[in-house]
């Protein structure tokens, strides 16, 4: 329908416009997209076979929806993308606070306007981007905020009595008529406020200060909640849960590859960063592994969850760490190294909620511990497990490298060393090049250098060589020398 040429109720009727509810809009537009094999939820990765089919079933059922999951599981993003299932434009009575449908008005204002002007009633068109309303539930949210209240100032200005419906100031829910309305963190809403939602969800009507009005609101409700909230701060009252048609459980990415895709998609990098800093597959794998380790760690509160924002922020920090080194060395391009992962610690610190044992250790130490475990476990994806080699008494592929350090050699890998210094230092370690070539052959020269660095970190995590933190880098040496000089925190086993 060409909305640009329709400005009155009469023109709308002549054009043959028919009204439909917001839930019918969502349902019928979804049916069209499914039939045309169009992806409705673009950019939502890892939910294709789990969450998204359940959401589509809920929309087809015309249900209000509760998205239940830990933080950082794309709950709000899913809700926002549902606007793509709305009609591009819908008509509304001009001047109406409640987005009144011209063919089916619900407010006294719109009904009076249409009674006076009839087919000459002016209408305007609302774009679907304006039909999404979001409210964060907090304990201070009040009934007037959500539903509405009598406005004494309006009554005085219009010289109306409090018995007149026009003195009502509508809350955010009535103003969301014909929209998608989202309440985030539903359990944080006080129980008495949740009770006020009963009638809205079931019958679609509201009551304000005893006014005998029934406003049949047309709203698609979406709620989000964290299961931990049920015990920590509040709960969803049972009768309200009973009135929400579908409760859908979200989850974290099932594997590293999906997690990488999410991070690459969401990380906010400048054009110059993308052009000048490369992050290889190995380094990005270790970075994603940090989040997987955190979700299993005894120091991290599993009930609270580890948000996908951890790896997104960590990736941004990683790129910036490599970029800073490049700028200081007056270089044009660089690659993220294993040592650059030290730069992600601040991003990890703020994204994990610690249990008592973790609090005792401190966020910084726990973050280092998670990085250590990530390196240790990713190492085993490329190279033999040193502990199993000892038991089987097989030929030790690490022998040459261990022997070089046992002869008293020490290697300092500084965070800000140039590309030339980096290559030169790594080539000093006898047997390191050959070890990488035998297990990870055919790497390009840059990736091979990073893999060589990774071998040193991995061998240190498996206690084959020693490693100590320096102010500006990392020092590798014989394991006994490291023990006598004081172990680094990263060497601690879980």
Distance CA(426)–CA(401), nearest Å, equals 11
Select from 195, 202, 191 the least CA-distant residue to 243: 202
Q: Check: CB of residue 207 under 8 Å from CB of residue 189.
A: no
Angle at 468 between CA 464 and CA 469, to 5 degrees: 140
Q: How far apart are the first and last CA of the chain?
A: 64
Instruction: Give the pair of three-digit tokens for residue 494.
Output: 């879980």
Question: Tokens 């640009």 sit at which residue?
Answer: 4
Pure H helices in 91-203: 108-117, 143-146, 152-158, 191-195, 197-202
Q: At what angle do helices 256-266 and 309-328 cross, to 10 degrees?
A: 60
**Containing H/E element for 93?**
strand 89-93
Select from 145, 38, 21, 143 the least CA-distant residue to 81: 38
pLDDT digit string (tens) for the chain, length 494 residues: 667 789 999 999 999 999 999 999 999 999 999 999 999 898 899 999 999 999 999 999 999 999 999 888 999 999 999 999 999 999 999 999 899 999 999 888 899 999 999 999 999 999 999 999 999 988 888 888 888 777 777 767 777 665 666 677 888 998 999 999 999 988 888 888 888 788 778 776 666 666 666 778 899 999 999 876 554 456 888 888 888 999 999 999 999 999 999 999 999 999 999 999 999 999 999 999 999 999 999 988 887 788 889 999 999 999 999 999 999 999 999 999 999 999 999 999 888 888 878 778 888 899 999 999 999 999 999 999 988 876 666 678 999 999 999 999 999 999 999 999 999 999 999 999 999 999 999 999 999 999 999 999 999 999 999 999 888 899 999 988 655 554 443 344 43
Buried b / exposed e across 367-384, counting CB within 10 Å, b at 16+?
bbbbbbbbbbebbeeebe
- pLDDT score, position 490: 37
Q: Check: CB of residue 77 under 8 Å from CB of residue 44.
A: yes
- pLDDT score, position 307: 86
Select from 379, 364, 350 the least CA-distant residue to 286: 379
Chain centre distance of CA 108:
42
- pLDDT score, position 313: 94
Q: What is the pTM of this model?
A: 0.83
Instruction: Give the pair of three-digit tokens for residue 353.
Output: 């909620």
Distance CA(434)–CA(417), nearest Å, equals 23
Distance CA(223)–CA(14), nearest Å, equals 39
- Give 402-407 contacts, CB < 8 A, sequence gap 24+: 402/459, 402/464, 402/465, 403/430, 403/431, 404/429, 404/430, 404/431, 405/429, 405/465, 405/466, 405/476, 405/477, 405/478, 405/479, 406/478
Secondary structure (DSSP) of 190-227:
-HHHHHTHHHHHHT-----TT--------EEEEEEE-T
Question: Tokens 């989202």 sit at which residue?
Answer: 182
- pLDDT score, position 231: 46
Main-chain dihedrals φ then ψ at residue 316, nearest 5 degrees: -65, -40
Q: Check: CB of residue 219 under 8 Å from CB of residue 86.
A: no
Q: Check: CB of residue 350 under 8 Å from CB of residue 388.
A: no
Helix (H, G, I), strand (E, B) or coil at 425: helix
Helix (H, G, I), strand (E, B) or coil at 165: helix
Helix (H, G, I), strand (E, B) or coil at 418: coil
């Amino acid at each position: 329908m060409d909305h640009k040429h329709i400005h009155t109720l009469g023109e709308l009727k002549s054009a043959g416009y028919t009204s439909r509810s917001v839930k019918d809009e969502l349902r019928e537009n979804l049916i069209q997209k499914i039939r045309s094999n169009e992806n409705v939820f673009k950019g939502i990765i890892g939910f294709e076979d789990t969450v998204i089919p359940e959401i589509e079933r809920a929309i087809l059922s015309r249900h209000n929806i509760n998205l239940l999951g830990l933080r950082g599981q794309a709950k709000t993003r899913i809700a926002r993308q549902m606007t793509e299932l709305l009609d591009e434009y819908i008509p509304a009575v001009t001047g109406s606070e409640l987005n009144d449908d011209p063919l089916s008005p619900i407010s006294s204002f719109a009904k009076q306007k249409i009674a006076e002007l009839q087919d000459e009633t002016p209408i305007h068109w609302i774009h679907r981007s304006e039909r999404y309303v979001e409210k964060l539930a907090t304990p201070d949210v009040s009934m007037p905020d959500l539903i509405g209240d009598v406005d004494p100032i309006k009554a005085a200005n219009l010289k109306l009595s409090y018995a007149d419906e026009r003195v009502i100031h509508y809350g955010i829910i009535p103003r969301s008529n014909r929209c998608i309305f989202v309440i985030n963190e539903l359990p944080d809403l006080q129980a008495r406020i949740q009770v006020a939602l009963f009638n809205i969800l079931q019958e679609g009507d509201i009551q304000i200060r005893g006014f005998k009005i029934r406003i049949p609101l047309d709203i698609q409700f979406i709620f989000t909640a964290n299961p931990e909230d049920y015990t920590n701060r509040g709960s969803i009252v049972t009768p309200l849960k009973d009135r929400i048609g579908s409760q859908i459980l979200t989850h974290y990415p099932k594997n590293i590859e999906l997690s990488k895709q999410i991070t690459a998609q969401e990380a906010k990098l400048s054009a110059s960063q993308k052009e000048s800093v490369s992050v290889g597959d190995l380094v990005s794998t270790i970075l994603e592994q940090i989040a997987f380790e955190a979700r299993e760690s005894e120091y991290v509160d599993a009930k609270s969850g580890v948000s996908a924002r951890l790896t997104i922020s960590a990736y941004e920090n990683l790129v910036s760490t490599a970029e800073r080194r490049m700028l200081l060395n007056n270089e044009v391009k660089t690659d993220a190294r294993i040592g650059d992962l030290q730069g992600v610690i601040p991003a990890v610190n703020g994204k994990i909620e610690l249990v008592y044992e973790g609090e005792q250790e401190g966020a910084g130490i726990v973050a280092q511990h998670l990085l250590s475990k990530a390196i240790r476990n990713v190492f085993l994806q490329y190279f033999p497990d040193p502990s199993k080699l000892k038991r089987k008494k097989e030929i030790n592929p690490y022998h040459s490298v261990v022997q070089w350090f046992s002869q008293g050699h020490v290697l300092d890998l500084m965070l800000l060393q140039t590309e030339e210094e980096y290559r030169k230092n790594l080539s000093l370690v006898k047997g390191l090049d050959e070890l990488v070539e035998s297990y990870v052959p055919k790497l390009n020269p840059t990736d091979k250098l990073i893999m060589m660095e990774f071998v040193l970190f991995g061998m240190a995590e498996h206690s084959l060589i020693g490693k100590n933190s320096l102010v500006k880098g990392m020092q590798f040496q014989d394991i006994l020398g490291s023990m006598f000089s004081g172990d680094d925190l990263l060497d601690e086993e879980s």
